Structure 1
């Protein structure tokens, strides 16, 4: 891979500049107003911002062109989503926020044409929201999906789903859910996990509660969702019975990377705020930018940002080539999630009391980025996978040598 491979093409640069202007002019003012509410972004706010994004030709940059999205390549997404992430509300405004963005990718790759028309088209258009119901309360599936306890059994002419899901982002107000459940062998298809498309008006599915959490940046919050004798027809199966874990990997690797892209944009904004503060604030007879300890904070953040950009770009390049890039996205997710936290934390420190106050948005950013080290696989789980791959790779090299 050469430097030329990493350079964004003129069309992508032009789109990124339009996103940059849109986020600063339309989204940032709305973010300031929302930050004062101490609540999740409402659907009214989402619809208003997405209407402006659609009018500007910026809606759904990751959505497939066939259904009205911009259909950007993964490297182009790395540039554009970083600009969207300049504001916490930027990805929401452009309809490229989790969990909808990941669900768009999954439906494009796995869903039937009929399912795409029914579920994917309105999602790309921003008409509806969705959720992805896999995580369960202990002792169910969390970082280890093999602990899946929700079940689905065949009952004559329908599947019946039973189980409880937990911390399901965006479930309150979502039009439908992708539910992962354990299924037995069925008509020659192996036992395993299966994904089901479940409409929100299904009487067997209900949102039990919104779970209070450190972050508040997702419309619909994080919810407990109960499936109780939830009957769905055979056409609700997403893909094939028993292949749910494989499909989860189709969704998770790109979704991890787009998370990194969005949060990197916010970290860059926090660094800009830190640089401005260091240039303006005087203490002990000098500007902060002239003091060695402040310089170290700024320099370490520059290093974290540069390394994050490189890891994201490399993984995006591999995914765009059609490679699985499981190791690369895992490495990127682990490093970037922690680097973003460090950058925002340093910016808070450089702002002193102002940084932890509500007069600046940095304290909000600090709360929002912290859970990223848990979402899409905790850092510890990724490190376990990274180490195992490294050990296998070295053993294979020694055998071959």
Structure 2
């Protein structure tokens, strides 16, 4: 164990409660003992054995349930752990992602993302009806947040577009919302069994007043998914598909908040996703640095290669990239925990900060993983050494939540407003 990787020291004692620290340390130990030894199996080995990948993932997800992460963000009065701190979530995300980037995203991350709108709107009736039983179950369950579309792409997340590019419609008929449209790429889109939180529009001409967030149970008639999209990274852990809504009918009260308020929540979700993407990529970069440190200690040219100045300087730059990425991510998470000072998640300034965290850490993590392949030579691209998997996964994460280019524009929007 390198002192700079010590969980208590690298996070600067950022977590304030004893209970949250216990959870974070339990996650760290779980990753070391249960995830690190089988990282390759999460992709089904070199030959992409789907059965091996599925069984490995299910075993790990069951472990996360046993740790309490499935109910982590459920209020205590409902039997959950009641975690509300962004800092705590950031650290759990970071530690899980050292083992595999997808673990936070497909399980506790997306559950918290789907649950947040109901919680922040005070819709405890929806939490009780749609979430509680499955989150308290001893088997793993998944949620899906459905935003992106084939045509609109990342423009749906562009705050300056005010929801005008959303084509999936929600029409109120009596006591039901009738949803029609097509979505693509959401995480867990092929296997969510809790709920599909769907971003729709009641009328694109109404802008943000027309944005609607509606919960759709997975067994609702008219809801269907397409074939799995094969990707360069997150190959067997995240199930991405097209999603089709054909006269999908759900009760009127499944809409989260209402005109204007749903748009605010959608901006909140975008900011949250970007911050937690940054935690994922930084955690992965740390795992890669540890691999490099161990490899360059054993690889010798007269002496361990990490003692040669070229290798030592590169390792130092990798460490600097990770240290600065983590420090800024924690700062933004702390700001999110103090909304009375810095504003709500989706405010222009906080969206800019969260976007900056994702853009910066994404660039740094990709640089770190790429440099690792150079320091390790042929072994850096060898499947058995894990670096090439982190490299592929980090590149995928750069593209999640609007990508690096859209993120940069949202940083600028934190300083001044402009349109297209």
- The TM tier, using the shorter chain, reads 0.7 to 0.9
Which SS does the other structure have where 2:221 is aligned? coil
1:269-288 to structure 2, matched below 5 A, reads 269-283=287-301, 285-288=302-305
Work out which of the residue numbers 330, 333, 348 in structure 1 matches 2:355.
330
Paired with 2:244 and 2:414, the residues of 1 have a C-alpha distance of 36
Work out which of the residue numbers 178, 182, 201 in structure 1 matches 2:219.
201
Q: TM-score, normalised by structure 2?
A: 0.82
Work out which of the residue numbers 245, 249, 266 in structure 2 matches 1:231.
249
1:120-131 to structure 2, matched below 5 A, reads 120-122=131-133, 124-125=135-136, 127-131=140-144
Cα RMSD between the aligned structures? 3.1
Aligned to 1:317: 334
Provide closer, same or farther for how the CA distance between residues 297 and 63 of structure 1 changes in structure 2, counting only shifts above 3 A. farther
Aligned to 2:59: 48
For the pair 1:81 / 2:93, whether they are aligned, the reply is yes
CA-to-partner distance for each residue in 1:15-65, whole Å, 9 max, x for gaps?
Answer: 433222111112223333223163779665444323333444555544443
- Give the deviation of 1:353 after TM superposition: 0.8
Work out which of the residue numbers 377, 380, 385 in structure 2 matches 1:352.
377
Which SS does the other structure have where 1:107 is aligned? helix
- Give the deviation of 1:193 after TM superposition: 1.0
Provide closer, same or farther for how the CA distance between residues 122 and 351 of structure 1 changes in structure 2, counting only shifts above 3 A. farther
Paired with 2:54 and 2:212, the residues of 1 have a C-alpha distance of 30
Aligned to 1:134: 147
Aligned to 1:181: 200
What runs of 5+ residues in structure 2 fail to find an aligned partner? 1-9, 345-349
- Give the deviation of 1:391 after TM superposition: 4.9
1:186-265 to structure 2, matched below 5 A, reads 191-216=209-234, 219=237, 221-241=239-259, 243-265=261-283
- Give the deviation of 1:358 after TM superposition: 1.3
Work out which of the residue numbers 41, 50, 54 in structure 2 matches 1:33.
41
What runs of 5+ residues in structure 1 fail to find an aligned partner? 393-401
Paired with 1:146 and 1:299, the residues of 2 have a C-alpha distance of 46
CA-to-partner distance for each residue in 1:295-327, whole Å, 9 max, x for gaps?
Answer: 232111111111111111111111111233222
Aligned to 2:7: none
Contact kept? 1:171, 1:207, Cα under 8 Å: yes
**Matched residue count:** 386
Provide closer, same or farther for how the CA distance between residues 260 and 292 of structure 1 changes in structure 2, counting only shifts above 3 A. same
Contact kept? 2:114, 2:145, Cα under 8 Å: yes
Provide closer, same or farther for how the CA distance between residues 318 and 5 of structure 1 changes in structure 2, counting only shifts above 3 A. farther
Provide closer, same or farther for how the CA distance between residues 124 and 250 of structure 1 changes in structure 2, counting only shifts above 3 A. farther
Paired with 1:375 and 1:253, the residues of 2 have a C-alpha distance of 12
Paired with 2:414 and 2:369, the residues of 1 have a C-alpha distance of 31
Which SS does the other structure have where 1:85 is aligned? helix
Paired with 2:14 and 2:37, the residues of 1 have a C-alpha distance of 31
Paired with 2:67 and 2:262, the residues of 1 have a C-alpha distance of 37
| 142-151 or 371-380: bigger deviation | 142-151
- Give the deviation of 1:218 after TM superposition: 6.4
- Give the deviation of 1:349 after TM superposition: 1.7
Contact kept? 2:352, 2:413, Cα under 8 Å: no
Provide closer, same or farther for how the CA distance between residues 160 and 376 of structure 1 changes in structure 2, counting only shifts above 3 A. same
Paired with 1:31 and 1:378, the residues of 2 have a C-alpha distance of 26
Contact kept? 1:84, 1:94, Cα under 8 Å: no
Contact kept? 1:166, 1:224, Cα under 8 Å: yes
Structure with the largest fraction of helix: 2
| 139-148 or 265-274: bigger deviation | 139-148
- Give the deviation of 1:111 after TM superposition: 5.9
| 121-130 or 15-24: bigger deviation | 121-130
- Give the deviation of 1:14 after TM superposition: 4.0
Which SS does the other structure have where 1:180 is aligned? strand
For the pair 1:291 / 2:308, whether they are aligned, the reply is yes
Work out which of the residue numbers 147, 153, 162 in structure 1 matches 2:171.
153
| 195-204 or 63-72: bigger deviation | 63-72
Work out which of the residue numbers 392, 411, 416 in structure 2 matches 1:367.
392
| 36-45 or 194-203: bigger deviation | 36-45
